[in-house]
Amino acid sequence: MILDETKRVKDPRVVASVLYEVATGQGRGRGNVKSTAGIRTWRTVLLSTGEAPVVSYTQDGGTRARCLEIRGAPFGKTNADTAKMVQELNLAIKANYGHAGVELVRWLTRHRSDWPRLEGEYQSLVRQYCQRAPANSDPAVVSRLAQYAAALGLAAVYAHVALDLPWEFRDPMDELWSDLIVESSDAPGEERALRDVISWAYAHAQTFDGRHFKGGETNGEGQSLRMPPGGWSGRWDSEDWKYIGFLPPVLNKVLVDLGYTPDAILAGWKERGWLLVDNDRIRNTTRQRMLDDRPHLVAIKREAVQAAEGPEEEEFEAEDKW
C-alpha cells in the first residue's frame, strides 16, 4: 500500500491512526445484534513520503519501532540530468507495472522445497543486522527493525534471481542500516528539532529579553526597551542563564516553519525532561519574568541545550594558535 505525501493530511492524528492500524495488522472488534463480528486481518507493507518523518505525528513508541525511516534525496543530486532520469523512470513504470510481483510469487511457488532454506537465511540476516547495530541503540527497537530489514534484504536477493535482473546485485541495507537505526532512536525528531530551534535562537538572539542590548532607550541594567522589529521571542538571560524561554506562539511557528509538528515535539521534550515546567500535568510551559510581566514560556533547560550542542571544543590560546 502506498500513501503519497503526508502533508496533504489535514489532521496529523489521521497519520498516527493509520500507522497504528497498519502496524497492528487487524481492524477493530465490532459487535452486531447476534454476536461479535469477525475481525479482518492483513499483512502489508506501507510506503509513505513526506517532508517530515511520518513517525513525527505520533508519540507511540511501539509504532515508531515498526517504521523504517529513510531521509534524503533518493536519486542523488537535484539537477537537470536527474530530473530527466526521474521523468523517464516514471513513464517506464506507468507503461510497465504489475508483472514483476507476479513473476516473483510464481518463482517462489516453483521453489517451495527451498522455503526452509530461505527461512534460515532470513533468521541469519536478522542476527547479522542486530550485530551491526550501533552500540548505544535500543536492543528492543533494533530487534524489531532487523526483522523488517531482513525481509527487505532477502526479497531483494531473490527478486534479482527470479527476475534475472541485468545489473549487479547490491544489498540495499549495506548503506542504509546504520542510518535507519539512528533515525529510529530519534524517530519523532525531538533531538533534531531541539538542535534546529537552538540554532534559530542564536540567529535571533536580540529578540529575547535579556539579550536585546543595542539601540533605543535602556533600563537600569543597560537593556534596550525598544521592541525588536519582529516582536519579542521570549527570555534568554545573557549570563548564568538557566533556560531559553520562548513565547508559545513564537516557538510553534518556528517548529512549523522548520517542518516539525509542535504538539508531538513539545510532548517529547517534556517527557525527556528537557523543559522547565510548573506543577501542571497538562501544560508544557512555566510562568517566568519577562520585561514587566510574567507570561507563560516554553523554557528549554540549559542542560538540554548543552547536551544537544555536544561537548564544548577546546579553547584556543591566542598566543599559541593564532
Q: What is the pLDDT, as a whole number, of residue 221?
A: 54
If you search the block for the grid coordinates 530489514, which residue do you land on? 149
Residue 313 has pLDDT above 60, yes or no: no
Work out the average pLDDT over 24-39: 73
Percent of the chain with pLDDT over 70: 84
What are the two backbone dihedrals, phi and then psi, of residue 182, each rounded to the nearest 5 degrees?
-60, -45
**What's the average model confidence in pLDDT over 6-28?**
78
Selection from 36, 233, 254, 69 nearest residue 148 by Cα: 69
**Nearest Cα to Cα of residue 283 among 238, 248, 233:** 248
Burial class (CB in 10 A: 0-12, 13-18, 19+), 120: exposed
Phi and psi angles of residue 201, each rounded to the nearest 5 degrees, phi first: -65, -40
Band (pLDDT 50/70/90 cuts) for residue 281 is: low
| pLDDT 10s digits, 112-138 | 999 999 999 999 999 999 998 877 777
Q: What is the pLDDT of residue 44?
A: 85
In this predicted model, what pLDDT tens digit does every residue of 70-113 receive, in sequence order? 777 778 788 899 999 999 999 999 998 889 999 999 999 999 99
pLDDT tier for residue 317 given thresholds of 50, 70 and 90: very low
